[in-house]
Structure 1
Amino acid sequence: MPREDAAPGVSTRRAFAKYGGTVALGGLLAGCTGGDAESDPAGGDGGDNGSAGGESGGSDGSSTDAGDGSYTASISPTGEVTFESPPETVFTRLTHHADMAFALGRSDGLTAMHAPDYYDGLWNQFVARLPGVSLDWSGLYSSWQPDKEKLYELNSDVHLADPAWITRQDAWSREDIDEIAERVSPWFGNSLSDRHQEPTGEWADGYQYYGLWEQFEIVADAFRERERYEALAAVREDLLATIDERLPPEEERPTAIMVAAADIEEIYAYTLSNPGFLTSHTRPLGPRDAFEGSIESGTVVDFETILEADPDVILYLGGFEPGTDMGGRRTAFEEDPVGSEVTAVKNDRIHPQGARYQGPILNLFQLEMTAKQLYPDAFGEWPRYEEGPYPEIPADERLFDRQRVADVINGDL
């Protein structure tokens, strides 16, 4: 049941925050560019600012003190929000936001996320390699199509989700968004930056796109966790510097494709280098697109189409999910008369991926593993993965410091 002091029709403000955002705040939210508006399959899961092929762009999400103990932070498309204290309980919809909350020490405060049991299993495959870190998202409210009354009941301190995406659903209007912001807590998230999707309706004017780590910085400031952000950003910068230093010349790089399939009879292909944070772990590594731009992200392909592209490497989304049989997926290619002729299949280079809607923690792991999957001579061999947690990489072959990341998540700075 919704809490009594925040029932629909009763005006009340969350003590910790004042919602100050409106859509289209002129110069504050300038920087919108076009993009595609494809829908995203629920099972598929980043653009980035920074070096190694990341996107750039000024962030208008800085945090400022108001002088009375409160502070403001702003993000497109909601604009400026005034916080009286850092949020502790967090509603999320997509996993890039859930991972941000996790990185900032708020994982136990999550009240909702998309497919919580699925992503709890997937994320824990990576968290297993972070000493002393735990994560439990199982049993949370599944928020792919959130119910407004449920948001009253959850009573979260902040809604780390994009209202421009929420209102794409028939059940939600701009009035509903404003009601929740006013009577429960503000919205403070951006999701259409995933592949620079085009905002619709009143959200279209002034929508700004962010790289994954650019948005993470804004969210960290909203949570008053600047030190945590800077520590993790330093780990990432070291990782990207290593990639820059060892990355082979373009003409020596393999061709690759990324696919996902719950059923091998319906294979979805995804792009590797388009703008948006969904490619934040592949774009910096610069593999050559085996489809040569002929396939849009989310296109269904068959073995014949894959053979025509003939990639050197196949990256398999969701391959780390505990219920996925990676051995069986490889066998399906190997036993098919067409699939077995693909170069990646012949050379045993079908490798698992985690999720496209990655936050900062998963991004570090996926940069490391994808570097090894694409360029074993430069970054060290990737172990053949069948099942279980992220492989235990020898200490001298790791591309980032697990202990440092674990310490930051646990608040040991």
Structure 2
Amino acid sequence: MDKCPATTRRNVLTTAAAAAVGGMAGCTTYGGTTDGDTDGTYSATIEPVGTVEFEEVPETWFPYTGDYADMGVALGQADGLAAIGIRQRFGSHHYDELPGVSVDKSELTQLWQDGTDQEVFYQIEADVHLIDPNFMINRLQWSQSDVDEIESGVGPFFGNTIFSGSYPWHDYQRYTLYEAFEKVAEVFQEQERYEAFAQLHDEFLSTIQPRLPDETPSVAVLFPKSVPPEAFYPYVINEGTQSKHWNDLNVERALAESEVADFHASRGTIDYETLLEVDPDVIAIRQQGRVTEEQFHEDFVSHMRNHDTASELRAVQNDRVIYGGMTYQGPIINLFQTERAAQDLYPDEFGGETLFDRERVADIVNGNL
């Protein structure tokens, strides 16, 4: 299949598509030059896209999910962020604690409008899309030709669906959060910021993990179908980056040891009766957006204490219903979510303690390395 148009609006080109996208392989070229002058170009490679060569650092960009948005912000690229899949699912409120770091989500185009069509990509005209093209095909019902059209008419895709480890169509290389983050740093030529974050992250874990107890609790991560909840979407703790903070805190994976299927694979729900069969030590309720302690207690903890079946759960009886964080976490959001999870899981050890330096994170984002 020929995917090599002569020109596009952007000076971005791919020299080798090393892997198939949606089962098809080929060579895709992006760029505004056809004279063979590629002095100063650089490349970045990620599965399933392959190798993308850039003639200049992208100025405008957008992801679909908040994990890649957070990566770009961490690399000092907030000014170029133009859109997001669903605004509420991007945890930019965490930046309020970082001096000089902010994103106004109201200014971002929301890609999801009862679906996501190609027109919005043309309207934004971003230099690069930090999106796994297979996500567009398998989750948003795009065709391969839709992907090809945007690649040739607007700009390249560059991403890998890292947040879930349960999608059956993701049969190619999976990346950890920091492996994907390093790839994005290559796109923006911000390797020094990446290295600074990687060092901070390693130091952060080295202050927490030696203090974890030998026996850690079993945790079930759930997203409520309604508020107050009578059923939940189950999220099995696995290798997806949505589970990184739980894995780093060495918890037992309650749902993984049961017959409950991950929501990303089944799209199903479980009720309190099923949850009682699992009966985890801790119930971590996932929410999107900013959630206050008072709101969380009213919407979930109080309701479950007064519920005929939920009140029989060990986690409810032992006051171990905790906030489970957001689905999409990049390097900044992950620091906040790991800190809060550590405080909630092990209050005697970490309760109320600040576990990472906000000023240092802000310095890296702002280029003060």
Is TM (by shorter chain) over 0.5?
yes
Q: What residue number does 1:146 align with?
A: 116
Distance (whole Å) between structure 1 residues aligned to residue 205 and residue 129 of structure 2 = 31
Q: Is the 8 A contact 2:163 2:241 kept in 1?
A: yes
What is the aligned residue count? 339
Q: Which residue of 2 aligns with 1:388?
A: none
Contact 2:224 2:233 in 1 (8 A): yes
1:243 aligns with 2:208: yes
Q: Does 1:283 align with 2:247?
A: yes
Look up the match of 1:220.
185
The structure, 1 or 2, with the larger RCO (C-alpha pairs under 8 Å, 6+ apart) is 1
C-alpha separation in 2, matches of 1:102 and 1:131: 13
Q: How does 1:223-302 map to 2 (within 5 A)?
A: 223-249=188-214, 252-263=215-226, 264-272=229-237, 274-291=238-255, 292-298=257-263, 299-302=268-271
TM-score under structure 1 normalisation?
A: 0.76
CA contact (8 A) 2:162 2:177 kept: no
Instruction: Give the conservation status (yes or no) of the 8 Å contact 1:196–1:209.
Output: no
Contact 2:282 2:321 (C-alpha < 8 Å) held by counterparts: yes
Tell me, yes or no, if structure 1 residue 343 matches structure 2 residue 314: yes
Which runs of 5 or more structure 1 residues have no equivalent in the other structure? Answer: 1-9, 26-65, 382-392
Does structure 1 conserve the Cα–Cα contact (< 8 Å) formed by 2:14 and 2:53? Answer: yes
Offset at residue 139 of structure 1 (A): 4.2
Q: How far 1:312 sits from its partner (Å)? A: 2.2
Structure 2 match to 1:160: 130
Structure 1 match to 2:364: 408
Query: Could you tell me which residue of structure 1 aligns to residue 102 of structure 2?
Result: 134
- How many Å apart are 1:193 and its aligned residue? 6.1
> Which residue of 1 is the match for residue 25 of structure 2?
none
| Aligned residues of 2:162 and 2:175 also touching (Cα < 8 A) | no
Distance 1:248 1:123, change over 3 A: same
SS in 2 for 1:156: coil
TM-superposed CA distance for 1:373, in Å, is 1.7
In the TM superposition, what whole-angstrom CA distance separates every residue of 1:245-275 from its partner, at most 9, and x where no partner exists? 11221xx212221111141022122112x22
The answer to whether the 8 Å contact 1:314/1:350 transfers is yes
2:280 maps to what in 1? 311
Q: Quick check: 1:175 aligned with 2:145?
A: yes
Gap change, CA 1:305 and 1:196, over 3 Å in 2? closer
| Residue type at the aligned position of 2:62 | F
Which residue pairs with 1:365 in the alignment?
336
Kindly state the Cα deviation for residue 67 of structure 1 after the two structures are TM-superposed: 7.9
**One-letter amino acid matched to 1:353:** G
Identity %: 40
The CA distance in 2 between the partners of 1:342 and 1:266, in whole Å, is 14
Q: Which runs of 5+ in 2 are unaligned?
A: 21-36
